[in-house]
Amino acid sequence: MLETDLSLNDMMFLARGAGVTLLITAISVAGGTLLGIIFGVARMNLGRVVSGLLAVILDVFRSVPLLIQLILANAFQAIAGLGLQPFTTACVVLALYTAALCSEIVRGAIGAVPTTTRRASRSLGMTWTQDMTYVVWPMALRVGLPSWIGLVLSVLKDSALVFWLGIIELLRSSQILITRLQEPMTILLIAGAIYFIISFPIARLGGHLERKWREND
C-alpha cells in the first residue's frame, strides 16, 4: 500500500514548496503584526476622523476575500507598472490582511487593560510610553496572544492562495506532483503532515505561555 513512485527529488520539491509557504507566512506575519500594532494603537489615540478613516480602510482588507485581494493587487501593480514580483505582491497583500485582523486583536487586548490600572501607572509618574511598554503591553499580550496565534495559523493556511499568482508554495507543489504521479492520497497526506509540523510548535508555544502566565494568577 505504501508503494510509491515518489522520489527523493520529489520530496525535495515538496520541501522547497514548504519553505516558500513558511517564508511568505513569516514575512506577512512579521510585517502584518508590526503594522497591526501601529494601526491598533493609532486607532485608539488619534482623533475620531483619522481613526474612523483608518477603520474603514482596514475593514476593506478584513472583509474582501483574500483571493480577490491577491488577484486585484497583482493586476493593479501590473497596470501601474510597478513591476513587482508575484512573491512581493503576495507578501504585501497578506501582510495588510494580517495587519487589518491584528489591529482588531490589539484594540481588544489594550481595551481589556482596566482604566484603573493605567491610571495607577500614570499616577506613579510614568509617561504614556512607559505605561504602554511596562504595563499595557505585557497585560494586553496575555489577552491577545491566543487570538494572535489563531491568526498566524490561519495566515499559514491562507497563504496557499498565493499560488493563483503563480507562486509554487506547498499546496501548489503537491498539486504538481499529484498531476504527474497520480498519487493524491500519499502526496496530500505528506503535505498535510508538513502543514501540521509547521503549525504544531506555534500552537504549542501559545499554550505554553498561557500556562506559564496562569501560574501567576
Partner 1 sequence: MIEVENVHKSFGALEVLKGVTVTVEKGEVLSVIGGSGSGKSTLLTCINGLETIQKGRILVDGTEVHAKTTDLNKLRRHLGIVFQQFNAFPHLTVMENVTLAPRKVLGMGKTEARDIAVQQLENVGLGDKLDVYPGRLSGGQQQRMAIARALAMSPDYMLLDEVTSALDPQLVGEVLDTLKMLADKGMTMIVVTHEMKFARQVSDRVAYFHKGILAEIGPPEQIFDAPQNAETKTFLSSVG
Q: What x-and-dash track marks residues 198-217 binding partner 1 by CB under 8 A?
A: ---------------x--xx
Residues 6+ apart with CB under 8 A from 169: 17, 18, 20, 21, 24, 159, 160, 162, 163
Whole-number Å distance between alpha carbons of 14 and 21: 11
Closest approach, Cβ 214 to partner 1, in A, equals 10
**CB of residue 50 to partner 1, shortest distance in Å:** 22
- Find the shortest distance in angstroms from Cβ 81 to partner 1: 50
Which of 21, 33, 103, 121 binds partner 1 (CB under 8 A)? It is 121
Query: Closest distance between partner 1 and the C-beta of residue 211, in Å?
Result: 15
Q: Quick check: 111 binds partner 1 (CB under 8 A)?
A: no
The tally of CA atoms less than 13 A away on the side-chain side of residue 110 is: 20
> For 75, left (φ over 0), alpha (ψ -120 to 50), or beta?
alpha
Q: Compose the 133-152 pattern: x for residues touching partner 1 by CB under 8 A, - for all others.
A: -xx--xx--x----------
Contact residues for partner 1, defined by CB under 8 A: 114, 116-117, 119-127, 130, 134-135, 138-139, 142, 213, 216-217
